[in-house]
Structure 1
């Protein structure tokens, strides 16, 4: 498997150019076609109160014109930024309609979907703010979420894989193989609380290391018992290892796993400091 097609969600937020740059860097490194998906907001966007001049008689037409011009400016900025880094296969798709639906539909014909972490620049739109969660659950493709702060100017060299032996974690590992092959350091991190049952039989960590080795990935595994929240412990370990990418499964299905995984997923998405590649 490789990332032959990478899709990145573009919008008017201040982090959209950063997200697009990360996606372009990955596309260039993996020889991918890059699609910039740009929902215009004509269906589900909110017009800023000061965007339309007072006294306009046809507010709907003026609003549509404003959104169209805003989208064209974003598309132009994306094209100029990508073209400025050298020859690469890319396109911009401007689409009307619901943002979540558009990202899911176009994401399903891609190998990797790049989204942004929720931040205050989209506080007027609760659906867009929760875009990563909605898309991850429905798209059927791996999703990489780029943090709302920080610069990520290099292809990840140090990767932490949150390994709990679950279906979602296995899917995430498989999806991340192209990135793992390019990494210099890959660490499988398994965490549990003191009162949790020893899950070494479920983890099969040594088997996963052999699986990765057969795919050209040299990795090591570590298992830790922690008193703090799993998400906090995971983020702390990422910082200790100097990792610049986290690979993890997102959400679960059984009620018990759902309570645990949902909490970890939401905490990581809220407090992430490095890009997170997830699968569900």
Structure 2
């Protein structure tokens, strides 16, 4: 089950709770690094920006990113939130509109970047100035086919537009990735990951949440404690349902994926400590 379903419908409210938890808020420092990486790449001038963010979550992380951009002399004048989940978009845009006041217009468009391109950005585009398309906070690591998603984003944009991408790094051959699994052990994340199964009619008491690591991917599974009837069939006790997977990247793999999707890489800047990589690319 793709992780995107943990952000849709009733699960959007569970994610909002998780995104206000201490574990999640501790990651906001990387949002400031993402803004700094965009400025240092030299691809945007010192004036108001037009930003289209894919996967803004509940808007809290986006607010930290936009605040840092303004402090660096690149305030956002027009902002478009793009997401698979209409409910989560409503939550994010309400939070960002309160933050922005009359300094920034806030709009939204539903788009699943895994299923194809979209005309949403083109219809929203205010003029000829370049759009900064942002895929931040390791959103790319949660999709099933990263190169396909990046190509779909490129197809939705114009020559001269910019991609700002950040991903979490980690070696595929690490035998015991304590640091990689730690962010997923909180009760808030467990609730968010299981919410789609609960919405489908399963009982939380029948589910054990198990984390694992395989070939550079964090995998979360729900294991049935007893047989469960779903639709016209029965799933046996011990049946495992993948709730999500979150890929970790090596720097050269990220850069290769961006290039394979048709983007021209302009800069790649590791975060302090080496846990994240921020890539800036342009569309030609």
TM over 0.5: no
Larger-gyration structure (1/2): 1
**TM-score of the aligned structures, taking structure 2 as reference length:** 0.32
> Hey, which of these two has a bigger chunk of strand by percent?
2
TM-score using structure 1 length:
0.32
